[in-house]
Structures are given as structure tokens and as C-alpha cells.
Amino acid sequence: MSLIGALGSGLSGILAHQKAVETTGNNIANVNTPGYSRQTVKLSPNSAVEIRGRLIGQGVKVQEISREYEGFISSRLVSQSDVMGREGAKSAPLAQLERVFGAGENSLASDIESFFGAWHDLSLNPGGNAERDRVLYEGNNLLDSFEQTGGELVRIRQDIDIDLDAKVDEINLKIQEIADLNESVTSKESLGSMASSDRDRRDILIQELSEMIGVRTYPSGDGKINVQLHGGIPLVQENDAMVFESYRSGDSLSFRVKMGGSVVPLNRTNFGGEFGGSLDVRDEFIPELQQDLSRLKNELITQVNDRHEAGYGLDGQTGRPFFSDAGGGVFAVGLSSAREIAAAEGPEGAPGDNLNAMNMYGLFNAGVFDGNETFTEFAAKIVSKVGIESKQNAMALGGAKDTFTQLENMREAAVGVSIEEEMINLTMYQMGFDACATFVRTVDEMMTTVLDLKR
């Protein structure tokens, strides 16, 4: 081997170590970059050259700069993002619902109690004006309370729509970027180098997309990844990005995917992630509450009216409903004066007749629902339903977060950047670089010595 050849080996070592130091530097620089996968330099010897029957090594080369990748954990992260997004999106509207159906002293149950309490007081003094006025007041108050609770439910559903609508653009950006990255990865890797940062970015985007709407992925060759919604509706097909759209149908927001010429409408089951969670609350849980609430209200109005119509007012009139439909399903106390309150059972409407007021109060303890639940018990059941849903959500969210953290840690452990490791690598590569440089200097000195022979 010639000295020139030795210089070549030394140079290859210097260059290879320089690359290694650069890569380490890049790793360190990205220590806090989310989704970044550690890159490692793989060194391999240049193939030896046979010179006069001997194999002589030709130095070192950088075979590849590879990206550490843990496929199992990555796909778990995508599906766990889905779960976490779902539970996370539920917690805000559920917290609102908990406020609406409070456990405090101003609940629907306490308004029902006050209403019947007013009738109870009326039965003690059926002719009293103050008692009669209070019955009217509590009746209106109770209706207000129903109205307000129902209104809050509608408002929470609308808030969910506004929230979801605002995310549509962001989702489309992500879908488009994933498709672009698919293209970029294929074209870069066809030239033989690993498109590490593109792959990292794509992984992160998929994870974020999964947290928002819940996706499944599968590879499609050439390093491309296809992305689908639950139910197999494609969002990214190789280099093509579909268009995700929201539109109004009825009084709520619906979604669809446009691909090429066709439009696929989406339903709740197509979604996971934040959309899935929000839609679960919007289309399943809140409607259930609305149904319970209107059942409670209708039953209360019907029963109260039945008993009221059977009684007599101070003016001796009967058959008047206490609550009446003021149009459009909005109910109001239908009596024009407190005298019309039917506290009496006798047709005369005598001022001392409290029998119907007592009847009315009897409703408070009557098992109206399914033969055994009273109005307040039914109201309490609604509140407890909200509580159970919210508690389950809090527990599921806590669990999902823990699992996610655990997975992220596993990912970090497998492919993340450890400063200690990089610093030690840096030291190692630096020493290699130093040694190669020293080697080149030594060869140089040797060549000088050889050249000096002639003098």
C-alpha cells in the first residue's frame, strides 16, 4: 500500500467521523422535537483492494444514516391518540352538563320540591292570597327552570358544532400534508437516501389526525402510508388527499368526504378521536338527557293539570289546566289570576276547601314513573346519570393519558434522543476524528521524510 493510499484511508476516516459528529449534532439539536427519531450513522469498511496478492483495506465509509423506528409502538400511539382524543373531547361538554344539572341546592329537583311545597302551604290556608300567589310564582319558576335547562342542552350542542366546524380546515391541512409527504418520501427514497425527517413529520401528523378524528393506517409500498377513517373511508390514498367537509343538515352539523367525483356522507360511527367523543355527547348523551327532561316535564304538566282540572277555583269554576301550551311547545302557567287556582274539591270553591290542594301535594310523593319513581327521584336520576357519565369519562381519560404517556416513554426509550448517549457518542466520534487527523499528519510527516531523502 502506498502512502498516498494511506492518506486516502485517513481522509475517509476524517470524513466519516465528521458525518458522525454532524449526525450527533443533529440528534442533540432535535432533543426536544416531538416525534423526532434518533438517527444513527452506520460505518462500514471500504472494500479491500487486492494489491500484489494482499488485501489492503481502503478506509471507512458511511454506509447509511438510518432512522430508528419502532413500528409497533408507533401504531399503538396512533390508536391511543384516538382513544385519548375521544375521552378528552367529552370532558369539556360533560363539565358543562354537570354545571347545568348541579348537585347543589338549586337543582331541578329542588324547584319541583318548591312547587309542590307551595301547594302544601296552600293546603294549610287555601283562601290565603299570599299562598296562592306563591303557587303561581313557583309554577312559573319551575317552568323557567325546565326551559333554562333545555336551553342549556341546546346551547351545549351548538357549542360542540362550533368547535368541530373550526377544526375542519386544520384537518384538511393535515390530510393534504400527509399526501404531500407520501410523495416526497417516495421521491427522496428512490434516490437511495432515507427521508427521515419527512417520515417523522408524517408520523406526527398521523398521530395528531388520529387524536382529532381517529384514523387507521396501512402502508402501501414505496414508503407511502394510506390513511382511513373508521369504516374504511379513505382520507389519504397514496399521493391523493380527500377533502373533508362540514355541512348543515337540519339544525346540526354533519360531515362528508369528497373523493374525486363522489361524496361519502359520514356518520358518528366513522369517527374516533375528538370528533367521535364530541359527536357521542352531541348525538347520543345529550339527546338522551333531552328525552328524560321532556319526559319529566310532560309527565309533571299532565299530572298537575289532571288534578288541577278536577278541582275548583275560588270563583267556582273547574276544568282549567294549571299549565297551558303558550304555543310552540312552550308552556306557561295558564291561570289569569290567583283566584283561579283550584285548591277546592267542592264545586262551590269555598275559600276553606283545601282538599284539592292536598291532592295536588300528594303528587309529590306519588310513584309517577314506572309505578314507583317520584318526580324528584326521576330528576335525581338524570343528575346521577350525568355524574356517572362524567366520572366514567374522567377515569377513562386518566387511563388513556397514562397509557399514552407510557407509550410515548416507550417510544422515547426506543427511538428518542438521550443526551448522555449523544454526548458520549460525540466524544467517541471526536476522538476518532482526532486519531484520523493524527494519522494523516503522521503520513504527511512520513512523506516529508521520504521526500527529504533526495536532498
* Footprint on this chain of other proteins (rule: CB under 8 A): 31-32, 94, 98-99, 101-103, 105, 107, 109-110, 113, 117, 120-121, 123-124, 127, 344, 346, 348, 350-355, 358, 361-362, 364-365, 376-377, 379-381, 383-384, 386-391, 394, 401-402, 405, 408-410, 412-414, 416-421, 423-424, 427
CB of 67 to other proteins, least distance (A): 16
Cell of 341: 287556582
**Closer Cβ to other proteins, 30 or 184, answer by number:** 30
**Closer Cβ to other proteins, 21 or 213, answer by number:** 21
**Closer Cβ to other proteins, 164 or 281, answer by number:** 281
CB of 386 to other proteins, least distance (A): 5
**Closer Cβ to other proteins, 165 or 292, answer by number:** 292
DSSP secondary structure letters along 171-225: HHHHHHHHHHHHHHHHHHHHTTS--HHHHHHHHHHHHHHHHHH-EEEEE-STT-E
Q: Bridge partners of 258?
A: 243, 263
CB of 367 to other proteins, least distance (A): 12
Residue 113 backbone dihedrals phi, psi, to 5 degrees: -60, -45
CB of 418 to other proteins, least distance (A): 4
CA triplet 177, 181, 187: central angle to 5 degrees?
A: 150
CB of 380 to other proteins, least distance (A): 4
Tell me how far apart the alpha carbons of residues 124 and 343 are, in angstroms, rounded to a whole number. Answer: 10
**Closer Cβ to other proteins, 244 or 375, answer by number:** 375
**Closer Cβ to other proteins, 330 or 423, answer by number:** 423
**Closer Cβ to other proteins, 217 or 376, answer by number:** 376
Angle, in degrees to the nearest 10, between helices 286-310 and 355-362: 160
E strand or H helix at 301: helix 286-310
Contact 39, 66 (CB under 8 A): yes
Query: Nearest-CA neighbor of 101 among 299, 288, 279, 274?
Result: 288
CB of 156 to other proteins, least distance (A): 15
Q: Bridge partners of 312?
A: 318, 344
CB of 403 to other proteins, least distance (A): 12
Cell of 19: 458525518
